Amino acid sequence: MGTEVNACSDSSACPDQTTLLQSKVQTHTFDEDDPSLMEHEHRTSIEVNLATTKVFGEVPIYNYHLANAGGMNPSLAELAEQKTWIIMMDSSATDDDEAKFCADLKNLGTNVQCVDSGDPDNNGEPYVTVKANEAELKSVLSQHFPHVKYGEPDGPIGIDDPEPDPSLIEEAVSTPWGLDRLDDSTGQDGSYNTPAHSREGAGAHVYVADTGIWTKHVDFEGRATPAFDYYRAGNDKVCPQGDANCGRDRNGHGTHCAGTIGGLRYGVAKQTALYAAKVLSDSGSGSFTGILKSLDYIMAKGNKPAVWSASLGGKGKMHSIADTFKKAKAANILISVAAGNSNDDACGYTPAFAPAAVTVGATQKGDRRASFSNYGSCIDVFAPGKDVLSAWWNSDTASKSISGTSMACPHVSGVAALIFGDFPGSDAASVEANIKAYAGKQQVTDAKAGTPNLMLHVPSWVPGGPIQTFTTTAPPPTTTTTTVPPPPGTFACSFESGSKPYCGLWEDARGDKFDWSRKSGKTPSWNTGPDKASDGSNYIFIEASCPRKMNDNAILKTNQAFQIGSAAFLRFDYHMKGSAVNTLKVSVSEGTTSDVVFEKQKAQGSNWNSANIDLAKYTGKSVTFAIEANRGSSWSGDIAIDNVNLFAGTAGGGGPPAATTGAPPATTQWTPPATTGAPATTGAPATTGAPPATTGAPPPPATPPSGNLGKKVDALQRTADQILKLLKSLQGR
């Protein structure tokens, strides 16, 4: 049983927290199969799509739509079919817990079976892969849900590299063009040289997750070793010493990638150790379970520091892969993956989308994005990938030129091996940061909007000693912030008073779903929202917990129109942290016409950010303003704003006027937000001096509540917070 606040009894706007206390409380039985009533953030490291999630035995099943041809509404025949499911367990699970799970499956007396499992006792990934129909899976999950985080259907992966252009195939050059490009800041000079005194990858261990490696090829000089073969009979997938057939390549793709990583003639890191991790069949196909098993092996038994290089992929966003990558990176395994060859957004593919991976797009000669290469914000760096010459599988001396992001990925894996070798003791995060810091900036043409424009480069670093420290995003430049008075007429609001309209100007709109809530300190929900105000002690935010639903909106608007003059602006601070953050936008309206002048979607980091909107295009017009936030797919989507400063401008040109009678009073002192990093925290006053009559500025703010009334408002707010926490705790039972 649980308690729900009946926030909306009709089609009118949902009330804010104060009104929630006066709402009718109903008791009912929660729908245990409703994924929106579960907390997901402690289960998975990526955003949950509730529309493709089902619940079995109190365990969410992500990407359920991929299990059946019928998607979220499978037929009875599909429900009866056995499928392969990946069951991810929490960090406290042991090998014995996995064995118990599999034993309980066997006790069902059907054909259900455990296909695979991890090795958490030796720092591997806690998971099991089972073959079962839905009824069988639900029966066991209902017994084990305290240990199980989530499940999802296994799926296919493979290689889909385009055919090379025969007119561009290079078979007799002394230096492959991709290598030639890496050591030059721009262009090519006909040679490839690693930094002076480089160990050329010695001391690093690169696991090539692919079709295997033809380890006898002369280009490997005996440095390539069979390590793992997912297609080996039995449960033990580790290659025995001396077994040349284990991890053997009969396709060519894996051998080609290994040659680019560490071959004597074709390789970036010519002295690195190479390991065959066969996760793709001889035809180039595989499954997500094979990826999990190979990484579990490396985490538990592999040599470190390690690079896991995977030129493969499949559709969708697999939670199990993203979470395993995150754990592997923390275990000092750098993950290097191909972006994909669909000329599409890489964020729609696994493993390319995974945040913990270094995702590699492909270029052709001349630093142009290859026409087949995927793109988008999930790309980390570009590397040569069209018509790349490397070793081949059908003889000990064979070579071939092929194309794909599959060929770009090994270049990055090789550079990672160089850095690991030249800077002993480096961790995977530092190596990734250095790869990005060394890369050429804004060199790739047709990289596509929103794609990081970085071109892989090996500069002349000095090996030895501690690795240079970089952050994955460039730190803000050093700036000096001077406290100056705002332009006369600026209407500043830091929500220090709970009286509405806030600061006499900002009111709750009619027709939205709920209202913004005022808060000091941390928001009630875990790991979402700010810990404190940007300016002063209070801010306002949208409380995304129950009974809010996906896309429910809260709108704050000005209570009158402004005649916009010269140099007008709207500035504010915003905070968007959480796994289910939706959208924050600002609109400017003139009559029935409305423009969106600011919009941010999804999480924007853990700090307050600043927005500065130039209102020049509205000069001479009478407009109103609205700030709207939308609730995401779950409770982890609190959006907050603070320190809102509106300057309607002046009637003449030349920018904001200077004060005419000396320094303004202390109450109007104002620190403009910094252009980067966190905004200034100097407290802005609730009001400023009266604006000139020609600016159409708002009237003075309403009088704040008296001391006793203010205390009652704060007490009511705290009570509302406590009730919401109680509701969420009841949901979890």
Tokens of 175: 């230096």
3-state secondary structure 450-515: CCCCEECCCCCCCCCCCCCCCCCCCCCCCCCCCCECCCCCCEEECCCCCCCCECCCEEECCCCCCC
Phi, psi (rounded to 5 degrees) for 695: -85, -5
181: left (phi over 0), alpha (psi -120 to 50) or beta: alpha
- Whether the CB-CB separation of 251 and 284 falls below 8 Å is answered with yes
User: How far apart are the C-alpha atoms of 501 and 489, rounded to whole Å?
Assistant: 18
Tokens of 374: 């995927």
- Whether the CB-CB separation of 212 and 392 falls below 8 Å is answered with no
Q: Which of the residues 65, 253, 411, 457 is marked catalytic?
A: 253
Q: Which of the residues 406, 413, 579, 636 is marked catalytic?
A: 406
Question: β-strand 368-369 against 381-384: which pairing, if any?
Answer: unpaired
User: How far apart are the C-alpha atoms of 24 and 730, rounded to whole Å?
Assistant: 17
Q: Sign (positive/negative) of CA torsion 554, 560, 565, 571?
A: negative
210 is a catalytic site residue = yes
Instruction: Tell me 164's DSSP state.
Output: P
DSSP string for residues in 63-125? TGGGSSTTTTS--HHHHHS-EEEEEEE-TT--HHHHHHHHHHHHTT-SS-EEEEE--GGGT--
Beta strands in 509-631 (DSSP E): 517-520, 538-542, 553-558, 562-563, 569-576, 583-590, 593-601, 609-614, 622-630
C-alpha separations of 93 from 98, 119, 319, 320 in Å = 7, 10, 18, 15
User: How far apart are the C-alpha atoms of 91 and 404, rounded to whole Å?
Assistant: 37
First vs last C-alpha separation in the chain? 8
Cα atoms in the 13 Å half-sphere on the side-chain side of 23: 22
Q: Which of 532, 562, 588 is nearest to 651 (CA)?
A: 562
Q: Which of the residues 210, 249, 345, 552 is marked catalytic?
A: 210
Q: Sign (positive/negative) of CA torsion 253, 331, 287, 163?
A: negative
Instruction: Report which secondary-structure segment, H or E, holds 163.
Output: none
Q: Which of 454, 359, 458, 362 is nearest to 407 (CA)?
A: 362
Question: β-strand 205-210 against 273-278: which pairing, if any?
Answer: parallel
- Residue 595 contacts by C-beta under 8 Å, 6 or more apart in sequence? 587, 588, 589
C-alpha separations of 507 from 393, 557, 628 in Å = 70, 5, 12
User: How far apart are the C-alpha atoms of 647 and 492, rounded to whole Å?
Assistant: 9
Catalytic residues: 210, 253, 406
